[in-house]
Amino acid sequence: MTTFGITVVFILIVLITRIVEYLIFIKRVSKICSDYDWKYIDEHGYPVIDVLEDEHYYLKCEWSAYNFLFMKGPSPLEMIFGFKRLTIESQYNENAVNKLKKYEVI
């Protein structure tokens, strides 16, 4: 195998590893979002109407963790090709992290 071939194989292995790591991270973030949203609803009560009326509530409800983590967070390509570790604290801004810590979901 040539040097070029070894380089291509190495890059593919690194890329596949990062994609798998990203998918595991996104699954964890989704669970955190669900926990946060339901804890927020338990504390405030009124948002349950938004959730029951519209299955896509997170698109327009600013309080939803899905909204401020997925919709307003970094793009998937940024996460996959970036050099930051895939952790909540390194990927999201301090405001989002503090909201999650308030409800003890991270």
pLDDT digits (tens, 9 = 90+) for 39-97: 998 898 888 887 888 889 889 899 999 999 999 999 999 999 999 999 999 999 999 99
Residue 5 lies in a domain: no
* Domain ranges, residue 40: 22-102
pLDDT for residue 53: 87
Look at residues 9, 65, 16 and name the one whose alpha carbon lies nearest to residue 37: 65
Taken in order 9, 10, 16, 19, is the CA torsion positive or negative? Answer: negative
Residue 14 lies in a domain: no
Taking CA 19 as the corner, what is the angle to CA 8 and CA 67, rounded to the nearest 5 degrees? 145
pTM (2 decimals)?
A: 0.89
* pLDDT tens for each residue of 4-52: 999 999 999 999 999 999 999 999 999 999 999 999 988 988 888 878 8
How many Cβ atoms are within 10 Å of 59's Cβ, its own excluded?
Answer: 11
Residue 16 lies in a domain: no
Q: Rounded to the nearest 10 degrees, what angle do helices 94-102 and 3-44 cross at? A: 50
